[in-house]
Amino acid sequence: MSSGKVKVVEKIFEANDTLAAQIEGRLKDSGVFAINIMASPGAGKTSLILKTIEKLHRNFKIGVIEGDTAAVTIDSDKVTALGIPAVQINTGGQCHLDAVMIGQALNHLALSELDLIIVENVGNLICPASFKIGTHANVVISSIPEGDDKPHKYTGIYRGIDVLLINKIDLLPYLDFRMDYFRQGVEILNPGVTTFELSCKTGEGFDGWIQWISKQVDAFKK
């Protein structure tokens, strides 16, 4: 590759980060706490969002931004069915959300009427880690069936996150998953990261996550 090509890539990241910082400020000024949910396809992003809404909708006004590679509204339909405003981003095949997309999506949400925005990133354990989108916390969901070696192999995404959710613990009896080995891998990349083991299906372990997010939203609220 020529150095010219590398320069183009650097400028794209730079422009994205500048816009992300602006979005972060815009949300903070509006008293809205925003989180970016990242995970492999099928780790339970939508399930987590639906259950979080169920637990928090009486306390906070919530909005959701759904990112998908294809032109579908499967996930946002589930959110709006709960009476929660949702904006769908179809990336047209692109493997991650970026700050431009979030900036546009925010124009479709009434920020002054919201306390919390949950962004569901595209299902991908690699690319979303490289793109800031202006949220205040990065959350990764890992799930038991994905296997206990994931933080040893997909190192990038665990590094910059604020919360790790280990989902589908109801399947532990049926799988060979060494929780110690998994958490050791994460600890090397992100020492002391806030971690909750839970099941979106049974609700087990969900309270810790709800307490954490409630505390953040309260701190931002105007």
d(CA 148, CA 185): 9
200 in the Ramachandran plot: left (φ > 0), alpha (ψ -120 to 50) or beta? alpha
d(CA 79, CA 136): 21
Where in 136-155 is the site for a copy of itself (CB under 8 A)?
Answer: 143, 145-147, 149-150, 152-155
Residue 98 binding a copy of itself, by CB under 8 A: no
Write the CB contacts of 209 (distance below 8 Å, at least 6 apart in sequence). 52, 163, 165, 196, 198
To the nearest whole angstrom, how small is the minimum distance from the Cβ of residue 60 to a copy of itself? 27
| Nearer to a copy of itself among residue 73 and residue 216 (C-beta) | 73
Q: Contact with a copy of itself (CB under 8 A): which of 16, 40, 135, 195? A: 40
Write out the E strands in the chain: 33-39, 62-68, 86-90, 116-120, 137-143, 163-167, 194-197
| Nearer to a copy of itself among residue 81 and residue 175 (C-beta) | 175
d(CA 170, CA 102): 34
Residue 25 binding a copy of itself, by CB under 8 A: no
To the nearest whole angstrom, how small is the minimum distance from the Cβ of residue 17 to a copy of itself? 17
Under the rule (CB under 8 A), what is the footprint of a copy of itself? 5, 8, 40-42, 68-70, 72, 74-75, 93, 95, 122-127, 130, 143, 145-147, 149-150, 152-156, 168, 170-171, 174-175
